[in-house]
């Protein structure tokens, strides 16, 4: 009951443009709002990446936006990604890009999506910049993997994201490793039914570690995306015991989340990439993330107040 009410509340807030304006124009609210978003412009995102690179961290840039409903909007999103890749190359940044296929017109059909994303992967190939395809809700899993596999078969340097809470993900990880497609592992944050996803934290963690071990043993350069100290320690222990070099994987975290853990991993010599979202769509994006899983409110609060140092 409470979760449903919170979900409706956040969805209602996502449509209130004046709240977004207030957040950006009130100093205190702006600091909170932009704690997890690098800014609204590419210039601001580039500056954030420069700072991260200066601390020893890599980055992946995400131009905010999703679920476009027409070809023109999807083409604009693709053009924004091409501009981002060009800027990464021009600035010599240690960064790649992450994108969502619903932003690239996946709802218009797989063939249309492949046409729309083509300039993005071509720009990536031109500058040797990796393109990561983010995973969305389970309704898109098969189509997302199909697009990634077809692009990879064409020689494009693309990777995917797999969500540990889905029952199918271990098998998907095995298939991606065999195909040579790089995987980012995350726990998953969409509201999925128990028929296809685990809801128990312990079982999700078990799946996460199983997937990490499989990809590490396959030498598939996985990205371990977690802010959970237990998951991070489990991976660290496994690679140390197995003699797996630190150049064979990377940890990933979200911009502004658990910066104390980010610093600790860098100080310990691990490779770390920060997921850096930017763009004018930050407000509906943030509210939809909270609506999809109201428990994310607690996650954000723990991330802010749980930091040390």
Known catalytic residues? 134, 184
According to DSSP, residue 154 is labeled T
Q: Which single residue is written with the structure tokens 């890009």? A: 97
Q: At what angle do helices 295-305 and 282-292 cross, to 10 degrees?
A: 110
CA distance 130 to 165: 26
Instruction: Give 275's strand partners.
Output: 60, 254
Which token pair is 244? 């797996």
N residues, the chain: 309
Alpha helices, DSSP H only, in the chain?
A: 2-14, 17-25, 27-33, 42-55, 71-91, 110-127, 141-153, 169-179, 201-217, 229-242, 259-267, 282-292, 295-305
Contact 138, 196 (CB under 8 A): yes
Q: Give the closest residue to 275 by CA, choosing from 54, 98, 156.
A: 98
Concatenating the DSSP letter of every residue in 84-139 gives: HHHHHHHHT-SEEEEEETTTTTGGG-HHHHHHHHHHHHHHHHHHT--EEEE---GG
Contacts of 76 (CB under 8 A, 6+ apart): none
Residue 251, beta-bridge partner list: 224, 272
| Pairing, β 272-278 against β 158-163 | unpaired
């Amino acid at each position: 009951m409470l979760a449903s009410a919170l979900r409706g509340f956040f969805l209602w807030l996502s449509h209130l443009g004046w709240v977004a304006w207030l957040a950006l124009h009130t100093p205190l609210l702006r600091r909170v709002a932009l704690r997890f978003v690098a800014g609204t412009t590419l210039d601001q995102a580039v500056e954030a990446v420069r700072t991260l690179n200066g601390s020893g961290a890599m980055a992946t840039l995400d131009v905010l936006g999703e679920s476009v409903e027409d070809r023109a909007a999807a083409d604009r999103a693709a053009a924004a990604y091409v501009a981002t890749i060009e800027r990464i190359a021009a600035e010599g940044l240690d960064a790649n890009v992450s994108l969502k296929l619903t932003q690239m017109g996946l709802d218009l059909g797989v063939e249309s999506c492949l046409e729309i994303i083509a300039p993005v992967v071509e720009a990536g190939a031109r500058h040797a910049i990796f393109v990561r395809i983010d995973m969305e809700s389970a309704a898109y899993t098969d189509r997302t993997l199909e697009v990634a596999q077809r692009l990879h078969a064409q020689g494009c340097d693309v990777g995917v994201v797999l969500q540990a809470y889905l029952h199918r993900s271990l098998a998907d990880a095995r298939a991606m490793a065999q195909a040579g497609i790089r995987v980012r592992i995350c726990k998953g944050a969409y509201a999925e039914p128990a028929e296809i996803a685990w809801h128990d934290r312990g079982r999700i963690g078990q799946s996460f570690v199983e997937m990490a071990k499989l990809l590490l043993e396959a030498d598939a350069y996985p990205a371990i995306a977690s802010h959970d100290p237990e998951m991070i320690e489990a991976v660290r222990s496994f690679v140390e015991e197995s003699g797996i070099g630190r150049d064979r994987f990377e940890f990933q975290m979200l911009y502004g989340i658990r910066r104390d853990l980010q610093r600790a991993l860098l100080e310990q010599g691990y490779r770390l990439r920060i997921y850096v979202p930017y763009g004018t769509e930050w407000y509906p994006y943030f509210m939809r993330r909270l609506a999809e899983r109201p428990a994310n409110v607690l996650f954000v609060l723990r991330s802010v107040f749980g930091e040390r140092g």
